Amino acid sequence: MGYPEYKIEFSDNAADDLRYFLKSGQLGLIKKIKNLIDSITENPASGIGKPELLKHNLAGYYSRRIDREHRIIYKVDQQTIRILSLRGHY
């Protein structure tokens, strides 16, 4: 039994964040983001980056560490992973 196939959707904010990292030339962060997204598609609730289910105004979203400063914030709906942001903290 394999993993379900997930479609990845980036919010406008997350797409801007990704463009920021690409323009910055921070290849290590870009690779880490790719690895985190790969891990999320394998198992949205566990894996690398210390997944944490968020509360309050972000209830239903998860956070994973990209580095000390940045987090990937995402939500899983059916077969879609919606990425809310990649820069900063929540």
Where are the chain's structural domains?
Answer: 7-85
Q: Which of 42, 56, 70, 89 is catalytic?
A: 89
Distance, CA of 73 to CA of 86 (rounded, Å): 7
Report the pLDDT value the prediction gives residue 4, as an integer from 0 to 100. Answer: 72
CATH superfamily for domain 7-85: RelE-like (3.30.2310.20)
Report the pLDDT value the prediction gives residue 1, as an integer from 0 to 100. Answer: 45
What string of pLDDT tens digits covers the 90 residues of the chain?
456 789 999 999 999 999 999 999 989 999 999 999 999 999 999 999 999 999 999 999 999 999 999 999 999 998 999 999 999 876
Report the pLDDT value the prediction gives residue 3, as an integer from 0 to 100. Answer: 60
How far, CA to CA in Å, does 82 sit from each of 26, 62, 63, 66?
23, 10, 12, 17
Is 69 in the active site? no
| Residue of 42, 22, 32, 16 lying closest to 64 (CA atoms) | 32
Is 52 in the active site? yes
Q: Which of 5, 9, 42, 52 is catalytic?
A: 52
Strand order in the sheet with 80-85: 7-10, 80-85, 71-77, 62-65, 52-53
